Amino acid sequence: MLYFSKLRITLVSLVSIFFIFIAASNFQNSEDSFVSKKINLGLDLQGGSYLLLEIDNEPVEIQKLQNTTTVIRNYLKNKEITFNDLRIQNKKIIFNVPNDNVQLVETFFLDKESDVNPYYFQYKSHEFDVELQNNEFSLTLSKYGLIEIKTSSQDQALEIVRRRVDEVGTNEPNILKRGNNRILVELPGLDDPMRIKSLLGKTANLTFRFVTQNNNDTFGTEMLQFENGTSEAMVSKRIILNGENLLDAQPQMNNQTNETVVSFTLDRVGAKRFGKATSTGVGKQLAIVLDGKIVSAPVIRDTIASGNGQISGNFTFQSATDLALLLRSGALPAPLNIIEERTVGPDLGQDSIKAGVIALMIGFLLVIFFMFYKYKIFGLIANITLLINLFFLVGILTLFEATLTLPGIAGIILTVGMAVDANVLIFERIKEECKKEKNNIIAFDTGYVKSKTAIIDANITTLIAAIILFFMGSGPVKGFSVTLAVGIFTTLFSVYFIARMLTGLYVVRNKEKTKLI
Amino acid sequence: MINFNKFYKLFNYISLALVVLSILLLFFKGLNFGVDFKGGTLIELRSNDKGINVTSLRQAFNKMNLGDFNIKKFGNENDFLIKIEKKDTSANAIEVIKKDLTSSLGGSFNFRRVENVGPKVSSELLKSGIIAIALSLAAMLFYIWIRFEWQFSLGAILALFHDVIITLGLFSLFSLEINLSIVAAVLTIVGYSMNDTVVIYDRVRENLRKFSDIKIYELTNISINETLSRTIITSATTLLALVSIYLFGGEILKGFSLAMIMGVIFGTYSSIYIANPILVKLRVSQKTILKEDTE
């Protein structure tokens, strides 16, 4: 009944000592500590930037529609089916076919093995939803067509974002997918995200195209502004080279003009195309277009066959470095918008830790004095339990390398306040039992048994709140739910294994005492 | 023994009045949502120049044409909190503010914290906050329904609603800011208040099994008294911890700990004065739980 085997006492003591060591390792240098694990500090405590980026997929959707339009045009031409009025309108591809061909064309799109409208076997749905009215077809991207676009552009964007962030060289960035069109970037220790933000804000879509005066260019033309916004030029839509052909880009000082430039190296295909274009186009202006704006448009003086070139355009060293970085890391599939940003400076983080630790110590002391005042010896037992509980809590957070946030510290302090509850419930129950029962040992035992359901129920309700908070909350609040939940388990363990043993040992020694508690 | 049951009626009327008042406040005055839920920009600023004060900062920000904004002292003498309502998420908005500030006031500023939340994210956060609170209430209802009879479940949930609504009502009355951590606080209040109610209910159930001849009106009073010292001690230690967070935990945790303090006070009160009278109203008797036992 009230017997604790030596083995049990030893085990409980060993577990306690183990967690005290683990918890203590957070306050030592990593070299001479017992374990190499440490609690991670959240961005709100160590300082850093949190950026939530949303991918604007509209350009990708439109591009997809344009590509599909071309595919449909060629397909119908190959099958020698006449069609009219093929156009994109309100994100729909619309065209007419003569009445006698409607059925034939419909099978092209609705056939499960359709080449123009794939995905059927993957999703049991086509890439495009087809609507037919009289003899007019209209195609819209289906739910799965959109998902496919979103996930693939998210994958690409994630890769490019990672490259760009890595190039800037912050320590241990955390880059994650969120939903199917968002990317989360966490940059610990970075207190001014200005540069990263401007780097992530650019698509960096680079093209080389000829400046033309000829309106009847077969590929079409468009008016584009120069980067400095002062003038514009007509540029062919024919793309000679794009960013994908770049092998490398570096900022450089041009010795002759004393100007900062970005020098680049092209891959084999790019070098070939560039050589051909520069040989046929001597005397023409070649526009270097970045994200729809002309960076510069130098006149081609000579054939460039080496695959090396330079981009000039009133760069400072910083802007040339950034452009080179963007070109090296590649273009984003779609523009990114920063929809949430949270930055905490390192000194505020320090202050928060300091305030949190002070609040924890004061809260802990207040609770300890109060408990000792109320329960004397039993209060002391509750306090020892509470202290060990605290080590358990910190130790487990360390073992799992959990992230500690400011609300997380609040969660620990709150656990200190609430953890004594279980012991209080038990002590009060023992007190009651002592009134009826002369035998201290029996009173002690019934006290534990009878308080059990209340303790379990009470802790489960708090656990439910913590779990919901974990799944619904974000960032720092999540940290709170983690400490709260872990705190419940450590509390129950320390109450039933440590406090029970200590009270048990005390009760056995004071069997005959009249006023036990 | 204290006769809590004598005051059931009185406190029920008071509670009802407080809940109605809170709902009216929530409807007509509304809540003061922070950037998390309303979108906009928040800047915590530390000035190295002692001459800078709220007035001079206000003048400087006025010149920037940022729309509605709000400046207040934040803890330390030279710390300020600026909230800008405009949902400008352009990449360099903060940079522009920094430059403008230095050019109009001179001196150097340390942007200790910057939060910029777009309208889409803020409405999502609000939605998930509301869902989280609703979900936790539902989960509690379900749990108590499984562990006890439905009468207990109803009493516990009404007590929870009471606590949550009055806490929010007080936030509305004093125009305290509602942000993500307040949602966390409300959820913890839900957990705590439940915890408190469950302990008393557990005792009520136990006593119902024991005594067939005592009316529920008396029985709840006995149960409250039997658990009273536990109720007081646990509330006291929890409040000690919370007050210490409020006083020493730094500016950021002030709202959070204040909400929790209110919640613990109301939670303790409601587990006595809401949860128990409901059992009386619903005429809970030994039969209610014996049915459960035989099943």
- The answer on B209 and B138 residing in a single domain is yes
The answer on A495 and A400 residing in a single domain is yes
pLDDT at residue A31 greater than cutoff 70: no
Assess whether A372 and A490 both reside in one domain. Answer: yes
The boundaries of the domain holding residue B112 are 40-117
- Total number of domains in chain B: 2
Contacts of A465 in chain B (CB under 8 A): 136, 140, 187-188, 190-191, 194
Please give the C-alpha separations between residue B136 and each of A29, A113, B199, B272, in angstroms, as whole numbers. Answer: 41, 48, 19, 21
Query: Is A359 in contact with B249 (Cβ distance < 8 A)?
Result: yes
What would the pLDDT profile of A390-429 be if each residue is shown by its tens digit? Answer: 999 999 999 988 889 988 998 898 888 888 999 999 999 9
Looking at the fold, whether A282 and A302 belong to one and the same domain comes out as yes
H helices, E strands: number in chain A: 15, 19
* Residue A316 neighbours by CB under 8 Å, 6+ apart: A260
Task: Say if residue B22 is in the same domain as residue B163.
Answer: yes
pLDDT range class, residue A495, cuts 50, 70, 90: very high
A470 and A381 in one domain?
A: yes
Length of chain A: 517
Of A239-243, A427-431, B150-154, B206-210, which range is least confident? A239-243
User: What pLDDT band is residue B88 in, cutting at 50, 70 and 90?
Assistant: low
> What is the distance between the terminal CA atoms of chain A, rounded to a whole angstrom?
20
Proportion of chain A above pLDDT 90, given as a percent:
24
pLDDT-wise least confident of A152-166, A171-185, A301-315: A301-315
- CA distances from residue A465 to A201, A404, A461, B37, B262 in whole angstroms, order as listed: 38, 19, 7, 21, 18
In this prediction, residues A183-189 reach a mean pLDDT of 92
The domain of A127 spans 58-146
Same domain (yes/no): B91, B138: no
Buried b (16+ CB within 10 A) or exposed e, A229-251: eeeebbbbeeebbebebbeebeb
Yes or no, beta carbons of B92 and A198 under 8 Å apart: yes
Residue B153 scores a pLDDT above 60: yes
Looking at residue A505, what is its pLDDT? 86
Is A285 in contact with A211 (CB distance < 8 Å)?
Answer: yes
Residues B102, B222 within the same domain:
no
Q: Which two tokens stand for residue B212?
A: 């067939």
> Is the Cβ–Cβ distance between A11 and A511 less than 8 Å?
no
Percent helix, strand and coil across chain B, each to the nearest 5: 70, 10, 20
Statement to judge: residues B64 and B110 lie in one domain: yes
- Return the CATH number at B94: 3.30.70.3400
Which of residues B70, B99, B117 is at a domain's end?
B117
**Interface touch A407/B44, C-beta < 8 Å:** no
Q: Does residue A317 belong to any structural domain of this protein?
A: yes
A274 plus A382 within the same structural domain: no
Check A477 against B183: CB less than 8 A apart.
yes
Query: Is the pLDDT confidence value at A309 over 90?
Result: no
What is the rounded radius of gyration, in angstroms, for the C-alpha atoms of chain A?
35
* Cβ-defined contact of B121 to A416 (cutoff 8 Å): no
CATH number at residue A433: 1.20.1640.10
pLDDT beyond 60 at A136: yes
Q: What is the mean pLDDT of chain A?
A: 86
Chain-chain contact of B234 with A406 (C-beta, under 8 angstroms): no
B-chain residues within 8 Å CB-CB of A450?
206
| Angstroms from A413 CA to nearest CA on chain B | 6
Residues of B in contact with A362 (CB under 8 A): 244, 247-248
Residue A198 has pLDDT above 60, yes or no: yes
| SS3 labels along A190-250 | CCCCHHHHHHHCCCCCEEEEEECCCCCCCCCEEEEEECCCCCEEEEECCCCEEHHHEEEEE
Chain A residues with CB inside 8 Å of B87's CB?
A: none
Based on the fold, state whether residues B82 and B15 are members of the same structural domain.
no
Predicted ipTM > 0.85 = yes
- Check which CATH number belongs to the domain holding A316 and give it: 3.30.1360.200
Tally of domains within chain A: 3
* A60-80 pLDDT tens trace: 898 888 888 888 888 888 878
CB-CB neighbors (< 8 A) of A179 in chain B:
none
Phi then psi for residue A236, to 5 deg, are -70, 150
Give the pLDDT score at B25.
96
- A361 located within any domain: yes
pLDDT at B89: 52
pLDDT higher than threshold 70 for residue A110: yes
Last-in-domain residue among A286, A315, A342: A342
